[in-house]
Every structure is written in structure tokens, then in C-alpha cells.
Chain A
Amino acid sequence: MSKIIEVSDLKKSFGPLEAVKKIDFYVEEGSLFAFLGPNGAGKSTTIDMISTQLKPDGGRIIINGYELGQEDDHIRSSIGIVFQDSLLDPLLTVEENLRTRGSFYGMSRAELDAAITSASVTANVTEFLKRPYGKLSGGQRRRADIARALIHTPKILFLDEPTTGLDPQTRKSVWEMVLKLQREQGMTVFLTTHYMEEAAQADYITIIDHGEVLAHGTPLELKTRYTSDVLKIKPKHDEELVALLEEQVGTSGYERDTAGIYCIPLEKTLDALPLLDLSRDNIDNVEIINGTLDDVFIRLTGTEVRNG
């Protein structure tokens, strides 16, 4: 597969604040790419630069073969963006919104008509095409936003937290639409999200913080590299288990939490078996927790996913 987005050595400062210090990554054509980072990590700044809204201080960005800063209009024609906030006109109907926005891409009237029909079918907005955007529900608006982003059948679809603020059902249907676009239409999807279960479905993840790339890889690679499974045992008798653990894993190999549960990080899931065998009679309750992307994120950025 070829690289459809290539970012190298990207830099951007706002006065003394280095929002982006040095960011390199690439996105393969047709993939679902998740770009993660806590708020203030430099995510939005990076996206603003990729989407031609902000001029980088240094570095190079190539999108769909076009160089940023020289062929910006070609780049703009290659990308569709679903912004975090709703940016369509509330007083206009969905169709009028699509028609106005579609006219930016130099289509003929017939092409535009066809584009509106196809975008509305894909984003499932046909039933409220004639209603004012301002009167739609949150989920309907989001779908209209997606239809707008698809109006010129872009090669790359940017989604900036597309499911934030939606109810669980709507979130699911919007998410399924995104997956469908990528899988069935081969569109490259560039996603930022706060939901790790969404990021987990990406083909590739890049995590940034403080304007630098912290880690990248497939979800599986990241989990293997940055998390471990944890064995949790609630014993019948503390002393017995402590003695066993001291002998088997040493003092630094386990932790007792306030609920009286012993947590033992494992190299491999199978390492749990000998420990369980040895403490079989002393176990009140036991579970093995697999590492998650949340753990990866917290481990790397030292924070919970900062919301808001």
C-alpha cells in the first residue's frame, strides 16, 4: 500500500509555546488511522496544519501526492473534514447546505446534483434532506456533517472526535458508517477520538503528547509493547498468599489494593497458571485482566484520557 499522508519533522510554535515540537508519521492509503493524544497534546494543531488551515513553522507534509504550501487547493480537494463542532448553516436545509458547500469544488450542476444524491445516500440523510439543519437532532446533524464531508468524494476523510457528545446508539451508528466507508469504499480515514474502543478498531495508531510522537503501531503491537496482563487474587488468608508471592515473584512483583485484592502483573497470560496452582486452596476469587488500549494510553501519557 502507498502512503497517502506523509508528515515529517513538523513544527509549530505559538509565541513561546511549542505546540508541535517534532512530529513524523505516515498514513497508508485505505487504512483507518487513529491519532490519539490528551487535550493540549498538539493534536488539533497538527490537524489544522494538515488540513491547510495553519502554516507550519517547519517540516513537510505531503497529502495524496501534493505538497502542503504549494498545492493547497489540490490538497483541499482531496480531503473531507468532519469537524468537532457543527459547521453547517442552521437556517438552511441540509440540501441547501450541501449545495452551497458542493459548489466550492467546481462541479457542474448535473455533477453537483449527483454528488448530493450519492453523499446523502451514503450518510443516510435523505429522509431529512429538506429540513433546516438547525432543527435536526444531534445524530442527524452529525450524519449531515458527514454527508458534507463526502460531497466531493474525497480520498481522505478526517474525523475530529466524530462521536463525542452523541448518545450510545447514535454513536454506534455513526461509527458503523465510518467503518463502512473505509471498508467498502476504500476511503482513508484519519480519526481522532477519546474512545479507546473506537481506536482499538483502527489499523494503525499514533499517540502524541507535548508535541511529540510517543508511540505508534497497530493496536495489538501497542498493547503487547506497553501493557501487561494482571492477575488479581482475593485470598482467604492474606499471610499465606503473601508468603507464596514473596517466594515466587518478590516484593516488587505484587501489590495489595485497598479492597484486599492482590494484583500481580504478568509477562504472559500463561504465567498465571503456576501461581494459581500453588495457591489453589487459598483463593476466594480470581480474575485475569488483559491489557487494554486505555492502559497503553495512560502508561504513555501519564494521564487518563483527558476529556473536555
Chain B
Amino acid sequence: MIAIAQRNLRIFFRDRAAVLFSLLAVFIILGLYVIFLADNIVAGLPEIPGVDFLINSWILAGILAVTSVTSTMGAFGIMVEDRSRKILKDFTTSPLQKAKLTGGYILSACSVGIIMSIVALLLGEGYLLLFDGELLPWASLLEVLGLIVLAVLASSSIVFFITTFMRSSNAFSAASTVIGTLIGFLTGIYVPVGSLPDTVQWVIKLFPISHAGVLIRSVMLERPMEVSFAGAPAEALEQFEQNMGVVYQLGDYTVQSWLSITILIGTTLLFFGLSMLNLSRKSK
């Protein structure tokens, strides 16, 4: 399993274009944000101190949630490629257990996801620092890392499930394009979730990966919100949190962190389970 994972990681990181493309989503979102979205969002907020730090942290949290999906997708591309280029034949005629092979693919995809998310985090922190922000304190950094792992697990399970249906590289790259485009909307990172119509809000709040976004935001915005809302009325903070998707409100219920974490873990188990079912159905 380790050997397969190692092989996949080597192949992934040696394909410079693939690495760049998996980070491309990060740059595109950042670009969109800097050029179009930031001003809108700031304009929608009351006059508050440290608004750049606040909003930059907000978008970075969203980017991390999206990266967990786009980067694992790149890594699972190797699995589809192995199948379409028939390299899989070489594996299935070796005394290598199927579970170990599958485990190797998942392990490498998760590793890629975590590595790329950390790269995005570091780049993002650099960006924050550049525009009057502060670095995350150590404790929060550890929390964010933990959440990245959770987000990557949940995302990779969903992407893996989709991958089990893909037979050709073309189909897979088409699917990745669609997912890559949709994912930003589904996780609600482009515009404040509060400014969207109710139905769209529900779709976003029910999409599991968006909970990774909420969790990461709640950690990363802790300090900026302290700065920006110092001395402001509690309602203003609460309104900001709801509007920007730092906490989710489902009807009268405010979603707690434990529920979001449970949703991520549940998603991981559910989709890996479904993938196994799909794989064993096919191998007959």
C-alpha cells in the first residue's frame, strides 16, 4: 500500500503541469476575489477597522475548503489513467491485494490533498501578512491543520466515489472541470452565503464540504473578528457571522462545530463505503 502510494505521489509531483493545475483553482479564486469580489463584500459591510485582514482571512478559509477537493481530484486522476492506459493489468497480474492497491490510491490522494492545502495555507498566510494582517497563532494553526485533514478525508471520499464511475481520462477531466467550477459555489466561498436566496443557502448548507469551510472560517476569523468587532454590539458580530457563513443557521438551529465535524466524518464513511460497493459490483 505504501509502495503504491509512494509511486502515485512521485508521479503526481513529477508532472509539474498537474501540480500547477491543482493549485490553479487557488490562484483563480484569489484572482476573482482580488479583482471583483473583495470590493463588493467590503461595500456590504458596515465601516469597521481591519476589514482587509477580516475579508482576506475569510476568503483564505474558503480557498482551503475548495483546495481539499480540487487537489485530491488531481491525484485520483492517476487512478483513472492507470485504468485507461491498462497499467492496472500489470498490478492485477501481480500478487498484490486489491484492497492494498485501492488503499494506496486513497492514501496518495489524501497526502496530495493535505500537502497542497498546506501549500495554499502558507501562500495565503503570506498574502495576509502582506496586506496588514497577522499570522495565525500556533494553536489555531494546529486546529486549521486538523480541519484540513478532515476536509481532505471527506472530499477525497466524494471524489473517489465519482472516480469509480470513470473509465476514460477524458470523462474524468470533463468531470473535474465541472466539479472544479461548481465547487466554489457549492461551498459558498465566492459571495457571503447570507446574500443568497434561501433555497441556494439550503443547498450550500447541506453540501458536506461547505461544513469544512464553516469550521475553517470559525478558526481563521477568530482573531480578525476580535480586531474588527472590538466594542461593537454583539448583534453586529452575530449578523456578520451568519451572513458570511462563519456559523450556519438551519431554521432556528445554530449548527455547532461538533455537528459539522460529524457531517465531515459521516461523509467520509458514507462515500468510501459507497465506493467500495461500486468497486466490488464491478469486479464480478
**Chain A residues packing against B (C-beta within 8 Å):** 51-53, 73-74, 76-77, 79, 81, 83, 85, 87-89, 91-92, 96, 99-101, 103-106, 148
Contact = CB atoms under 8 A, between A and B. Distances in A.
A81 B93 contact: yes
B11 A87 contact: no
Given A87-B87, A92-B11, A96-B7, 5 more contacts: A51-B93, A52-B93, A73-B95, A77-B95, A104-B91
25 contacts: A51-B93, A52-B92, A74-B95, A76-B93, A76-B95, A77-B95, A81-B90, A83-B86, A83-B89, A83-B90, A85-B86, A87-B85, A88-B87, A89-B7, A89-B11, A91-B10, A91-B11, A91-B14, A92-B11, A96-B7, A96-B10, A101-B90, A101-B94, A103-B3, A104-B91
> Which of the listed residues B15, B90, B92 has the most CB atoms from chain A within 10 Å of its own CB?
B90
Contacts of A76: 93-95
A99 B3 CA distance: 9
Q: Is chain B's binding surface mostly helix, strand, loop or mixed?
A: helix
B140 interface: no
A119 to B, nearest CB: 14
B162 interface: no
Nearest to B90: A87
Contact of B96 (A81, A83, A91, A104): A104
B25 to A, nearest CB: 22
A99 B14 CA distance: 17
A83 B94 CA distance: 13
Contacts of B89: 53, 83, 87
Given A79-B93, A91-B14, A100 B86 contact: no
A105 B86 contact: no
Given A100-B4, A100-B7, A89 B91 contact: no
B6 interface: yes
A37 B24 CA distance: 51
Interface of B: 3-4, 6-7, 10-11, 14-15, 85-87, 89-96
Contacts of A106: 95
Contacts of A81: 90, 93
A205 to B, nearest CB: 24
Nearest to B3: A103
Contact of A100 (B6, B85, B93, B95): B6
Contacts of A74: 95
B93 to A, nearest CB: 5
Contacts of A87: 85-87, 89-90
B163 to A, nearest CB: 19
Given A76-B94, A87-B86, A87-B90, A92 B6 contact: no
A137 B89 CA distance: 22
A53 B86 contact: no
Contacts of B86: 83, 85, 87
A76 B96 CA distance: 9
A93 to B, nearest CB: 10
Given A87-B86, A87-B87, A103-B3, A92 B93 contact: no
B101 to A, nearest CB: 9
A101 B94 CA distance: 8
With most chain A CB atoms within 10 A of its CB, the pick from B7, B11, B86 is B7
Given A85-B86, A87-B87, A92 B7 contact: yes
A106 B86 CA distance: 23
A101 B96 CA distance: 10
Contacts of A91: 10-11, 14-15
B90 A53 contact: no
Contacts of B95: 73-74, 76-77, 104-106
B11 A104 contact: no
Nearest to A74: B95
A76 B91 CA distance: 10
A75 B86 CA distance: 20
Contacts of B85: 85, 87
A108 to B, nearest CB: 13
B19 to A, nearest CB: 12
B16 to A, nearest CB: 10
A53 B96 CA distance: 13
Contacts of A77: 95
A99 B6 CA distance: 11
Contacts of A88: 87, 90
A103 B93 CA distance: 14
Contacts of B11: 89, 91-92
Contacts of B92: 52-53
A106 B93 CA distance: 14
Given A87-B87, A100-B3, A103-B3, A53 B94 contact: no
Nearest to B94: A104
